[in-house]
Homo-oligomer: A and B are copies of this chain.
Amino acid sequence: MAKDFPTREENYSQWYQDLVVKADLAENSDVKGCMVIKPYGYSIWEKMQAALDKMFKETGHQNAYFPLFIPKSFFSKEASHVDGFAKECAVVTHYRLKASPDGKGVIVDETAKLEEELIVRPTSETIIWNSYRNWIQSYRDLPILINQWANVVRWEMRTRLFLRTTEFLWQEGHTAHATKEEAIEEAERMLDVYTEFAQTFMALPVLRGTKTANERFAGALETYCIEALMQDGKALQAGTSHFLGQNFAKAFDVKYATKEGKQEFVWATSWGVSTRLMGALVMAHSDDDGLVLPPKLAPIQVVIVPIYKNVEQLNTVSETAIKIKKALEAKGISVKYDNRDTHKPGWKFAEYEFKGVPVRIAIGPRDIENQTVEVARRDTKEKAIYQITDIDLKILHLLDQIQDNIYKKAVDFQNANTFRADTYEEFQELIEKGGFVLAHWDGTSETELKIKEDTKATIRCIPLHNKLENGKCILTGKPSTQRVVFAKAY
């Protein structure tokens, strides 16, 4: 089943699309731009959610839930915010259907028109800050550290499974603080959380930095981001954390009384990651034989496949297989024992390879005699014979090794595809090849846009704690004090 789609070399974009669909992660629905996340894909998302949610709670955040709908007038209150989102909003105008006069189906009931249209949230700053106005009176009510797991809608014209969909699932943190410093600290803390999540769970190295004014979130004073490199040399923005200043507090009139009794506007952050991470996970690690999942996010970490010729052999093998399954599960490993007699072992091997199961254990009658099993790892395709003694500890160790190896491979790839350009010619050549290109830039939006026009590359970020060095802008030759990171991006 795994082979009827192009290799990465042949057609990276089609490889990705086919892999997502054939590995049962997601599929396009009959609603334009909206996807169905299938159980196998959703179980990876659940693992991401669980890990992130734990990290959010450990950093003092609580979950809450705000309305799906935002009154149109709320949107206009923060000028750059509405500019950023107005062009991609799903608008609810009516609240009732009625039978069609021709007897065929239903039509919108024009008498049920809303006085004010409602926008399906593309992000929730406005509706949340409208609530915070009532929640915050004094410094004692601060900080507010809230996160929300939700669906959002941004009307996209060109969509691609997980990477860009009209509806997507995400979390959005919205915090309120008494001081500017505290808000900036929070925005940076959450960037750290995202970085740790990407590296530790997704096995994904990321660059950390701030966005240029052009690429900032609509309404933010500073947007922090993590950027990852995909196997085709394109960058993918994997998470953002925004320092919003007092913009939303001013738009929604949210003030607090200081200890000294003065009225001040509240400082804000927001931060989010989405099901886009699923796309990053697939594109960063998978190969021409299918998914490669880091063990920490794999729904099934170990599959056990019995090898047998008759029921008697199956019974013998099963006895040991089930013992091993239990031993592994006792160590917190998720295991599937696939004893279906409808498929041959070879078919099962290909299936689980395709689905990215990190470790496959095969057991046959000879293994039982020798008290061994055959262990195959998905990442390197290596096979080895293991003695069954202490198999639980060995597999636990192997899963760690696989997690580390997948990460290391991605780090090596990123290093091998990070370049420095000192002339525009050099830059254009490198950008055409793909990868991160570090180059000097004169700091103006005009230059940034001209470079984008010429090469399709954008400034992915200005690295945090960037090394300062004198140089000249690759386009204009004007003086620059640091290199920024360019790439073509998803």
Contacts and interface: CB of A to CB of B under 8 A. Distances in A.
A95 B34 CA distance: 14
Nearest to A156: B95
B91 A29 contact: no
A167 B69 contact: yes
A435 to B, nearest CB: 34
B96 A108 contact: no
Nearest to A91: B94
A27, A87, A93, A106: which has the most chain B beta carbons within 10 Å? A106
Contact of A106 (B72, B88, B99): B72
A449 B150 CA distance: 40
8 contacts: A31-B71, A43-B62, A45-B65, A68-B167, A72-B108, A82-B105, A92-B92, A108-B117
A71 B88 CA distance: 19
A320 interface: no
B155 A95 contact: yes
A119 interface: yes
B96 A94 contact: no
Contact of A96 (B29, B39, B87, B118): B87
A43 to B, nearest CB: 7
A91 B86 contact: no
A75 interface: yes
A478 interface: no
A344 to B, nearest CB: 15
B72 A29 contact: no
A63 B35 contact: no
A27 B30 CA distance: 36
Contact of A63 (B39, B99, B140, B146): B39
Interface in A120-146: 120, 127, 130-131, 134, 140, 146
A29 B87 contact: no
A101 interface: no
This chain: how many copies in the complex? 2
B67 A146 contact: no
Given A105-B72, A127-B29, A64 B42 contact: yes
Interface residues of A, number: 65
Contacts of A151: 68, 150-151
Nearest to A155: B95
A315 interface: no
A147 B64 CA distance: 22
Which A-B residue pairs are the 7 nearest by beta carbons? Answer: A76-B105, A34-B67, A39-B62, A86-B97, A37-B65, A95-B155, A91-B94
B106 A96 contact: no
Interface in A48-101: 62-76, 82, 86-99
A96 B155 contact: yes
Contacts of A34: 67-69
Contacts of A82: 97, 105-106
A434 B103 CA distance: 43
Given A68-B167, A91-B95, A95-B155, 7 more contacts: A27-B131, A35-B67, A43-B62, A68-B151, A68-B153, A76-B106, A97-B119
A314 interface: no
Contacts of A310: none
A256 B208 CA distance: 51
Nearest to A86: B97
A432 interface: no
B86 A95 contact: no
Contacts of A169: 65
A36 interface: yes
Contact of A31 (B69, B99, B105, B108): B69
